[in-house]
Structure 1
Amino acid sequence: MKAIKATLLVAGLFFIMGGTAIAKEKDVNKALIGRFAEEVFVKKDLSEVERYVRADYIQHNPLVKQGSAGFKEFFAAWFAAVPDWNYSLKKIVAEGDEVWVYGTYSGTLEKEWLGIPGNGQKYSFDAVDIFRVQDGKLAEHWDVMDIYGLFRQLGVIK
């Protein structure tokens, strides 16, 4: 009986400790994404990208080249085309090594971007960005965004 109690006690401790480690990983990853969003998206400081994004960053959005260099190139062009570029983070959810971020992108298209001529048109659209974290940095990215709404607002489609 004592052996069973000891086994259950040890198993319970491993379960609790494992749950604590998982909760801590979620909190650490959410904090990482929060800092990344603040530094890179809100402050538009692309010099911070290497601090948060792995050089071999995998990008699943076909408009953005691979790696941290591809990330910087895409956002440098977007920031230049939209001087009042704004990002509003609304919610962060973490599960394991993945972090889901819901936010709103907005601004005024003043210069050409993605082949769309600058037209002074204001836009605002929502997106969910999904990041995989590896070794304390962003390793992979997927997104789901309201491209139809963005292109409609910019006059690309009616």
Structure 2
Amino acid sequence: MSAENKEVVRRFNIEVIQNGDRSTFEALMAPDFINHAAPQGMPNGPDSMWSTFEKVLRPALSNLTVTIHDQIAEGDKVTTRKTISGVHTGTLLGVPATGREVAISVIDIVRVEHGRYAEHWGLNTLSNVLSSLSNLEPVR
């Protein structure tokens, strides 16, 4: 079961986050999915995940790539250490494009149920990236 769950998470990272494939997203998300990493007061269902990628990251980062460094599976949970990277060519949470390469480090835990994302917890360095970008001059 661990290998199958790791493959679900790998597919999500590459096909959904990196490639923006909505049909894979729909196939891999449980309808009652809970995103425990959603900001307080924000929706925490499946659309909270899709919005993060399609309304925040994808418009701001060209050449978006997900690199999985480690995956550890135990029971129904998969922990992944990864980097989401790209070129900052659009506004990212209010920070205008700088043309700089960015790398967001992420560690997340996903509970997989029947081959679908049931719950998600995560930590990332997006706030550090935003802080460093807001102090830079755009690349000319």
What TM-score range do you get, normalising by the shorter chain?
Answer: 0.7 to 0.9
What secondary structure sits across from 2:63 in the alignment? Answer: coil
What is the Cα deviation at residue 148 of structure 1? 4.8
When normalised by structure 2's length, the TM-score is 0.82
Task: Deviation per CA, 1:33-73: give whole Å up to 9, x if none.
Answer: 12222211232323311111112211122347322222112
Select the structure with the greater relative contact order (CA < 8 A; seq sep ≥ 6).
2
Query: What is the aligned partner in structure 2 of residue 75 from structure 1?
Result: 53
What secondary structure sits across from 1:154 in the alignment? Answer: helix
Match of 2:9 among 28, 33, 36: 33
What is the alpha-carbon distance in structure 1 between the residues aligned to residue 47 and residue 128 of structure 2?
28
What is the alpha-carbon distance in structure 2 between the residues aligned to residue 86 and residue 100 of structure 1?
19
What is the Cα deviation at residue 156 of structure 1? 5.6
Does the 8 Å CA contact 2:59/2:91 hold for their aligned counterparts?
no
Query: What is the aligned partner in structure 2 of residue 137 from structure 1?
Result: 116
Aligned CA-pair RMSD: 2.1
When normalised by structure 1's length, the TM-score is 0.74
Query: What is the aligned partner in structure 2 of residue 118 from structure 1?
Result: 97
What is the alpha-carbon distance in structure 2 between the residues aligned to residue 73 and residue 39 of structure 1?
15
Query: What is the aligned partner in structure 2 of residue 5 from structure 1?
Result: none
Go from structure 1 to structure 2 and tell me whether the alpha carbon gap of 1:79 and 1:147 turns closer, same or farther (over 3 Å shift): closer
Residue 149 (1) aligns with residue 128 (2): yes
Query: What is the aligned partner in structure 1 of residue 68 from structure 2?
Result: 89
Go from structure 1 to structure 2 and tell me whether the alpha carbon gap of 1:62 and 1:68 turns closer, same or farther (over 3 Å shift): closer
Greater fraction helix: 1
Task: Deviation per CA, 1:54-99: give whole Å up to 9, x if none.
Answer: 1221112234732222211221121122122111111111011110
Match of 1:56 among 23, 26, 32: 32
What is the Cα deviation at residue 106 of structure 1? 1.0
